[in-house]
Amino acid sequence: MRWFDRLLRRRPPDGTATPARYAVIDTETTGLDAARDRLLTIGAVGVCDDRVETADAFYAVLRQPEPTIGEDILIHRVGTGEQAAGEDPAAALTAFERWCDGRWAVGFHAGFDRRMIERTLRAHGHAAPPLRGWIDLAVIAPLLLPARQDPGGKVPVSLDDWLTSFGIDDCERHHALGDAQATAQLLLPVLHAAKARGLTDPAALCAESDAALKLRSMR
């Protein structure tokens, strides 16, 4: 039996769950070093009862004391003027904490977004946001949809691969809110596959995500 099959044999204790509230989160940063680079924007969209709630969204550009002028702007497209005119970071983070409101966090390679958000929160005197746990679609989607292929027969790996395989259009790629909305659309078939395996409790799905990440790190 393959390792992910052993993971997915587990079931939530009572087999039932109330409609779950998810916060699908994405960030744009000055680089890919979670210990040193800076958080520029946070985008998030709500998913509840298997529906993307497009009106239930959060987006903030955090004002930068020293706007970046490097090649990273070509990727995140948050220019120096937008960085300088962004929201006060402490106020934006407080608003983000209120918006989270005990939801389950979802992301693609969510560990990076989580580290960037939590490090920035700590730097401004905040605790971790009130989220019930993090689910990483980069590890959960392959577990629950192992036979998935893109139109060219390729096994999806990147977020772009997965979006293409489901025909999901991300017209604002590398924009935190645009990527969060596209990732929220990807979450829906993943939740459907989870329910087909009896994973109806988001806590169980979160546990599978954590276990899969630990197993990957051990390989």
Q: What is the CATH number of the domain that holds 175?
A: 3.30.420.10
Q: Answer yes or no: is 4 within a domain.
A: no
Total domains in the chain come to 1
pLDDT recorded at residue 95: 96
Q: Answer yes or no: is 143 within a domain.
A: yes
Q: Answer yes or no: is 192 within a domain.
A: yes
pLDDT tens string 6-24: 444 444 444 444 679 999 9
Shortest CA distance to 109 belongs to which of 135, 133, 127, 85? Answer: 135
Residue 102, helix vs strand vs coil: coil
pLDDT recorded at residue 12: 41
Lowest mean pLDDT among 87-96, 110-119, 169-178: 169-178
Neighbours of 120 (CB within 10 A): 20
Neighbours of 14 (CB within 10 A): 8
Q: Answer yes or no: is 14 within a domain.
A: no
Question: Average pLDDT of 171-191?
Answer: 93
Residue 152 structure tokens: 């060219």
Q: pLDDT grade, residue 70 (50/70/90)? A: low
Q: What is the rounded distance in angstroms from the CA atom of residue 24 to the CA atom of residue 47?
A: 7
Q: What is the rounded distance in angstroms from the CA atom of residue 43 to the CA atom of residue 59?
A: 4
pLDDT at residue 53 tops 50? yes
Question: Average pLDDT of 201-212?
Answer: 91
pLDDT tens string 148-158: 997 888 899 99
The one-letter code for the residue type at 72 is D
Q: Answer yes or no: is 12 within a domain.
A: no
Q: Answer yes or no: is 13 within a domain.
A: no
Q: pLDDT grade, residue 4 (50/70/90)? A: very low
Q: Answer yes or no: is 124 within a domain.
A: yes
Q: What is the rounded distance in angstroms from the CA atom of residue 103 to the CA atom of residue 132?
A: 6
- Domain span including residue 171: 19-218
pLDDT recorded at residue 136: 97
Query: Between the CA atoms of 190, 194, 199 and 200, what dihedral angle is there, to the nearest 10 degrees?
Result: 60
Tell me the pLDDT of the chain averaged across its residues: 86
The one-letter code for the residue type at 24 is V
Q: Answer yes or no: is 175 within a domain.
A: yes
